[in-house]
């Protein structure tokens, strides 16, 4: 059965790839990968973000933001590159070995009056043959809308960039730097040159203020960002529905994961927004479980915490499902308690409320419920079975930045209460290995809130009904 299932997955995947290559073959011939999607954020969006940041900066200051470093997976193989969200937010560039400088006021740089400059990888035909096309300075100017762009190796030779400043704002040195001894212009070289050049002026470094300003900006999503976040949620919802329909005993966690991630890619996501969590039975009680190798048995619950990333923006959705299609009586009691807490917490996602209000609401309901079920004796014991918070910000990071103050229109947060009873817990053994979390993506609006993932079933009867529907992976 497993072999047939895996063969079907591979066949469907291959057919889908063939259809995609046939229908969009012309995309492969586009000038560069930045033109392959028409719904990405525009150069105007990133320019507006730079202008907004500049308006918040102190007089006579500059901000310095680095791209993320490339990270070695093993030997000469790197992990798939993922840009520093702050850098992408302000530039739109998705390449390594780059650096952005924004000045509060205009100044002359290489004889050109400007208030910003970006240093990027130079074109290199030999490397592009292996790793794909680079934009280079000319296309950074034409595609991303910068006035000044220079090859990264020229930064070390340019003088006066930090003269006359009172403050140099940065977000600290990127973690995980590795010096490529074959390159004179990798991120390590840029950082080293920056440290030398910025040590000469009398300006004070401030690696706190820039982070604070960016957190306050990024926590409020623009209409363009909300559109991408809704798309990421829509893709994720479709994937979760297909996992519900395909779920059967004797499958493995990784087969369920494969179905979800297949639909992520089929629907246009670039990648999962984070490592998929597909934990059955005891594994559902491990909050960030990622092994995903267990075989599913009748009577198990499986917790699926999976979200797609679309043009850099993350969805984050969790559903907990009965492997055999029916919740047991004991599972239903715990599930309904978590669902009641989640619904009430979502209702607390209102502009003007505190960021932690949904958490307080959820914890009150969960603790009262467990006290009534005689699982705990006081609210102080809830942390044993609910060890995490109810919400986090969502955006360019799955755990996005924010100020954690008052909820405002444009903020996007998760609401994800849960209860977990690992084997050996001081409770009725009938609860052992039950782990349940329910998570949706909630947009704060002027009128209240919108659940971006509302289309995905979470009521017990809705889930059980969806699980009776035919899957494309079912045997004929």
Catalytic residues: 76, 288, 305, 316, 388, 392, 399, 416, 420, 437, 439
Comparing C-alpha atoms, which of 36, 63, 66 is closest to residue 49? 63
Quickly count: other Cβ atoms within 10 Å of residue 462's Cβ: 12
User: What is the distance, to the nearest Å, from the Cα of residue 240 to the centroid of all Cα atoms in its chain?
Assistant: 17
Distance separating alpha carbons of residues 186 and 55, to the nearest angstrom:
30
Judge residue 74's burial from the number of C-beta atoms within 10 Å of its C-beta, 0-12 exposed, 13-18 middle, 19 or more buried. Answer: exposed
Q: In the 8-state DSSP scheme, what is residue 351? A: T
Distance separating alpha carbons of residues 249 and 354, to the nearest angstrom:
43
The CA angle 376-380-384, to the nearest 5 degrees, is 65
Distance separating alpha carbons of residues 10 and 12, to the nearest angstrom:
6
Comparing C-alpha atoms, which of 291, 284, 295, 288 is closest to residue 338? 284
Contact 234, 263 (CB under 8 A): no
Comparing C-alpha atoms, which of 91, 111, 104 is closest to residue 159? 111
**DSSP β-bridge partners for residue 119:** 99, 150
Distance separating alpha carbons of residues 164 and 252, to the nearest angstrom:
62
Residues 6+ apart with CB under 8 A from 392: 399, 400, 413, 414
Residue 475 vs residues 7, 241, 472: alpha-carbon distances, Å:
11, 18, 8
Residues 6+ apart with CB under 8 A from 240: 260, 304, 306, 317, 319, 456
Q: In the 8-state DSSP scheme, what is residue 393? A: B
User: What is the distance, to the nearest Å, from the Cα of residue 371 to the centroid of all Cα atoms in its chain?
Assistant: 35
**Cα-atom radius of gyration of the chain, to the nearest Å?**
25
3 state SS of 266: helix
Contact 216, 401 (CB under 8 A): no
Q: Are strands 440-444 and 434-437 parallel, antiparallel or unpaired?
A: unpaired
Distance separating alpha carbons of residues 36 and 153, to the nearest angstrom:
29
């Amino acid at each position: 059965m497993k072999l047939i299932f895996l063969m079907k997955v591979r066949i469907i995947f291959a057919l889908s790839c063939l259809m995609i290559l046939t229908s969009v073959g012309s995309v492969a011939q586009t000038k560069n990968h930045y033109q392959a999607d028409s719904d990405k954020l525009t150069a105007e969006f990133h320019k507006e973000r730079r202008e907004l940041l500049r308006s918040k900066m102190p007089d006579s200051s500059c901000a310095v933001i680095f791209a993320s470093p490339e990270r070695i997976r093993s030997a000469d193989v790197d992990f798939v590159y993922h840009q520093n969200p702050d850098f992408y937010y302000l530039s739109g560039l998705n390449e390594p070995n780059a650096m952005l400088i924004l000045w509060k006021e205009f100044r002359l740089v290489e004889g050109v009056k400007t208030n910003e400059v970006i240093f990027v990888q130079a074109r290199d035909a030999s490397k592009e043959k292996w790793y794909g096309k680079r934009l280079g300075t000319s296309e950074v100017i034409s595609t991303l809308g910068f006035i000044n762009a220079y090859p990264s190796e020229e930064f070390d030779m340019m003088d006066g960039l930090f003269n006359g400043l009172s403050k140099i704002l940065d977000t600290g040195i990127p973690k995980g730097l590795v010096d490529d001894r074959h390159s004179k212009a990798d991120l390590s070289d840029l950082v080293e040159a920056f440290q030398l050049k910025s040590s000469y002026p009398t300006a004070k470094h401030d690696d706190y203020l820039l982070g604070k300003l960016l957190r306050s900006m990024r926590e409020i999503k623009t209409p363009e960002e909300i559109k991408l976040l809704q798309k990421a949620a829509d893709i994720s919802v479709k994937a979760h529905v297909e996992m519900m329909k395909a779920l059967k005993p004797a499958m493995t966690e990784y087969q369920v994961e494969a179905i979800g991630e297949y639909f992520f890619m089929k629907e246009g996501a670039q990648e999962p927004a984070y490592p998929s969590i597909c934990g059955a039975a005891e594994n559902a009680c491990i909050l960030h479980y990622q092994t995903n190798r267990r075989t599913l048995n009748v009577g198990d619950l499986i917790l699926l915490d999976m979200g797609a990333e679309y043009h850099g923006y993350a969805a984050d959705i969790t559903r907990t499902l009965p492997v055999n299609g029916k919740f047991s009586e004991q599972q239903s009691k715990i599930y309904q308690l978590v669902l009641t807490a989640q619904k009430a917490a979502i209702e607390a996602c209102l502009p003007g409320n505190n960021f932690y209000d949904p958490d307080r609401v959820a914890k009150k309901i969960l603790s009262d419920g467990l006290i009534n079920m005689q699982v705990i004796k006081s609210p102080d014991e809830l942390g044993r079975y609910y060890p995490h918070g109810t919400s986090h910000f969502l955006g360019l990071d799955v755990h996005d930045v924010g100020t954690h103050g008052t909820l405002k229109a444009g903020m996007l947060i998760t609401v994800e209460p849960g209860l977990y009873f690992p084997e050996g817990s001081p409770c009725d053994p009938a609860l052992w290995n039950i782990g349940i979390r329910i998570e949706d993506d909630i947009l704060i609006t002027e009128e209240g809130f919108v659940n971006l993932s509302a289309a995905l079933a979470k009521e017990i009867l809705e889930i059980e009904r969806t699980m009776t529907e035919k899957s494309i992976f079912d045997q004929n």
